[in-house]
Structure 1
Amino acid sequence: MSRSGFRRAAVSLAAVAVIAGAAGCQGSSSNGGGGGKKAGSGGVAAVSPIAALRAAEKKTEGASSAKVDGTMVMGSAMSTTMSGALGWADGVTGTMDMRYTGGTMADAMKQAGGDGAVKARYLSDAYYANLGDALAAQTGGKHWIRYGYADLSKLMGASGDVMKDQMQNATPDKGVKALLASGDVKKVGEEKVRGVLATHYSGTVDVAKLTEKTTALSPDKLSAFKEQLSKAGVTTEKVDIWVDKNDLLVKKSESGQLKTGAFNSTVFYSDYGTAASAEAPPASDTVDFTKLMKQQAGAS
C-alpha cells in the first residue's frame, strides 16, 4: 500500500471504528417522547410500546456494561464482525476484536499485508486501534494508533461534533431513546433471540430531525451536518430492538441507505454487568493519529 493509500485507510478506519466498534453503545440522546397504544394481551410485555421501551431504557442504562457482538455492512466500503465487552458508566470503555471481512477497506488492509483483524480499546477520550505487525511497519514499528475524539471532531467537521457527543455519552439504551423520540414505535411481536424470548419493537428515525432535537450544535454546524447527511445519501434509519423479560436490550438492528449502498448493523447484548475496562497502550508502542497524518502528508 502506498503512503497516501495507508493514510486514506487510516482515516477510513477511524470513522468506521467509531461507528462499528461502538455500535453496541451508539444512538442519539433524547428524553424520549411520543404516544403509545393501549396494552396488548399477554406475553413478555403486555404493556404499551412506549411504557415498555421506557422501562427497557432505564434498566439497560443502569446495567453499566455488557458483552457485545455483531456485524455491520456499509455499502461497498466495508463489512465487519466484532465482539468484546463494553462499559458505559463514564463514557464508553472496554475492548473489542474486529475483523474486516469485505469491501474496499478489507481489500486495502490485505494489500498492505494485514489479515483484516483489528484490536480496539475504548477509553473516555480516545479510541486505540492495533492493526497488526504488517501495518505497524508503516507507523515506525508502533502497533497502536490513537484516535482522540476531539481530534476526530475537528477532522470530520459537523458530523465529528455529533460523533464526539455520542462517543462520550453513549450507552446501549440510546437506541431505545432514539426509537422513543422518533414518534414511530410499534410492537412487532414476540420472538426468540438466541434462545431467549424477547419482544420486538420497530420504528423509523429521521436522522437529521433527531439530531436537531438531541444535540447542542449551533445553527451553522447543524446546517453543515445536514449537508453532510445529504451528500452521503442519509435520510432515515429503520431501528429494531428486542427486549427480554427483564427489560434488558438483547438485540438491536439498524438499517438504511447510503449513496455507496445499503447500511445495516446487528448487535447482540448479553452478560450484563460483566467486567469491562481498558488501559491506554504503552506510549512507546503508540502513534497519535494526527501525528501520523502529518508524517504521511509530508512524505507524499
Structure 2
Amino acid sequence: MSTSVRRSVRRRTIGAGLAAVALAAGAVSCSKGGEESPKMTPAAAVAKAAKNTEDITSFRYRMKGKVPEQGRVEAEASMRIKPSVAMSMKMTVPDQGTKGTMEIRLVDKAMYIGGNADLAKEMDGKTWIKFDMSALGDKNLGATTPGAGQADQNPATESTFLTGAKNVKKVGTETVDGVKTTHYSGTVTVADLKASFKDEAKAVREAREKSLQQYEKLGVDKLAMDMWVDGENHTKQFRMQGAADKGPLDMTVTFLDYNKPVSVTAPPAKDTADLAEMMKGLQDG
C-alpha cells in the first residue's frame, strides 16, 4: 500500500469514525411514559433526570444529525459503561456515499473501525482497522483523533448539561417512540456549564468537565438544548445545537433501553490491520 493511500485511509477512518463516536452521544435512557410532578419546576425536573444518569450501566440509542466537517450522520449503538466500557455502533455518513458506511467497536481499550468495502480494497483485504487507545493515553489521543480520549467515559454526562442553563423552560408534553414525555429547552454557555460543575461531587464534576472538553475543541461556546424526560425521570431523547469553528453541530439522540446486558467482541485478528503498526511503518519509511 502506498504512503499516500495509507494517509488517506487514516484521515478518513479516524476523522469520520472517532469524531462521530465522541459526539455520538450523550444522554440516558428510555422508560415508561408519564409526566413530571405538577409541583416540580422545569429546572428541578431536568436536575432530577441528570441525577439519574449516575445509575446508568448500559444503554442502546439512535442518533441523527450533523457533525462539523462530516455533515449528516446516522447511527445506532449499544454501549456498556460498567463494569468496563464497551461499545458497538453502526454508522452512516450519507454525504460520503459508500465510503461513509462503517461499524465501530470499542472493547478492551481498543477502537476498531470496519465494515466498509472500499476500505477493504485499500487495506489488502483487511476489513478492520485497530486503533489502540490505551497505548497513547488520553492526552495524546485527544491530539491525534479529536474526541477519542473521551470514548472511555460515561456519555450520559452530556445530557446533564441542560442543568447549567439559566433559562430552562417547559415546552409541553410530546410522545417520543411511543413514550409520553415532557419537553424542556434552554441555552447554556460553556462558561455557565463550568460554573455549574463546581457544586457537584468530585467524580461527577470531573466526568462532566471531561465531556465538555470535546465541545471546547470544536470551538463551541454555546449550546441550545432540548430534553425529553419520561415519567420515571429519565431522559428519553435530547438534542444539542451549536456553532463550531468548522461547521454546525446539530445532534439528536433517542434512547431505546437501558441497564440491559451489552456484549462486544473484537473482530478476528486475521481481518484486522493495526493502525499503530501502519503509522510506525510510515515513520520508518
Give the TM-score, by structure 1 length. Answer: 0.73
Partner letter of residue 195 of structure 1?
G
Conserved in 1, the CA contact under 8 Å of 2:27 and 2:237?
no
Partner letter of residue 129 of structure 1?
I
Partner in structure 2 of residue 130 of structure 1 = 114
Deviation for aligned residue 1:118: 0.8
Name which of 246, 252, 265 aligns with 2:232. 246
Partner in structure 1 of residue 31 of structure 2 = none
User: Whole-Å Cα distance in 2 between the matches of residues 90 and 125 of structure 1?
Assistant: 13
Partner in structure 1 of residue 8 of structure 2 = 5
Partner in structure 2 of residue 142 of structure 1 = 126
User: Whole-Å Cα distance in 2 between the matches of residues 279 and 19 of structure 1?
Assistant: 20
Partner in structure 2 of residue 98 of structure 1 = 91
Give the aligned CA root-mean-square deviation in angstroms: 3.4
Identity %: 29
Partner in structure 2 of residue 264 of structure 1 = 250
Conserved in 1, the CA contact under 8 Å of 2:35 and 2:230?
no
Conserved in 2, the CA contact under 8 Å of 1:84 and 1:95?
yes
1:98-154 superposed Cα distances (whole Å, 9 cap, x missing partner): 11111xxx15xx4xxx4x321121225232211423312323432222233343741
1:179-231 superposed Cα distances (whole Å, 9 cap, x missing partner): 22344433322222123211112222323664685449xxxxxxxx79x947x
Aligned: 1:44 with 2:36: yes
Partner letter of residue 13 of structure 1?
A
The verdict on how the C-alpha distance between 1:292 and 1:208 changes in structure 2, with shifts beyond 3 A counting, is farther
User: Whole-Å Cα distance in 2 between the matches of residues 15 and 263 of structure 1?
Assistant: 15
User: Whole-Å Cα distance in 2 between the matches of residues 297 and 25 of structure 1?
Assistant: 40
The verdict on how the C-alpha distance between 1:229 and 1:245 changes in structure 2, with shifts beyond 3 A counting, is closer
Partner in structure 2 of residue 168 of structure 1 = 152
Give the TM-score, by structure 2 length. Answer: 0.76
Deviation for aligned residue 1:163: 5.2
The verdict on how the C-alpha distance between 1:11 and 1:67 changes in structure 2, with shifts beyond 3 A counting, is closer
The verdict on how the C-alpha distance between 1:17 and 1:296 changes in structure 2, with shifts beyond 3 A counting, is farther
Partner in structure 1 of residue 172 of structure 2 = 189
Task: Extract structure 1 runs of 4+ deviating beyond 6 A.
Answer: none
User: Whole-Å Cα distance in 1 between the matches of residues 283 and 193 of structure 2?
Assistant: 37
Partner in structure 2 of residue 202 of structure 1 = 185
Conserved in 2, the CA contact under 8 Å of 1:191 and 1:197?
yes
Deviation for aligned residue 1:242: 0.7
User: Whole-Å Cα distance in 1 between the matches of residues 144 and 222 of structure 2?
Assistant: 18
The verdict on how the C-alpha distance between 1:184 and 1:125 changes in structure 2, with shifts beyond 3 A counting, is farther
Give unmatched runs, 5+ long, in structure 1: 27-41, 217-224
Partner letter of residue 7 of structure 1?
R
User: Whole-Å Cα distance in 2 between the matches of residues 204 and 177 of structure 1?
Assistant: 13
Give unmatched runs, 5+ long, in structure 2: 29-33, 198-204, 208-212
Name which of 72, 96, 113 aligns with 2:65. 72
Secondary structure of residue in 1 paired with 2:151: helix
User: Whole-Å Cα distance in 2 between the matches of residues 293 and 131 of structure 1?
Assistant: 21
Alignment of 1:287-298 (within 5 A): 287-296=273-282
Q: How many residues align?
A: 262
Alignment of 1:16-35 (within 5 A): 16-20=19-23, 22-24=24-26
1:169-188 superposed Cα distances (whole Å, 9 cap, x missing partner): 2142x134222234443332
Aligned: 1:84 with 2:77: yes
Partner in structure 2 of residue 281 of structure 1 = 267
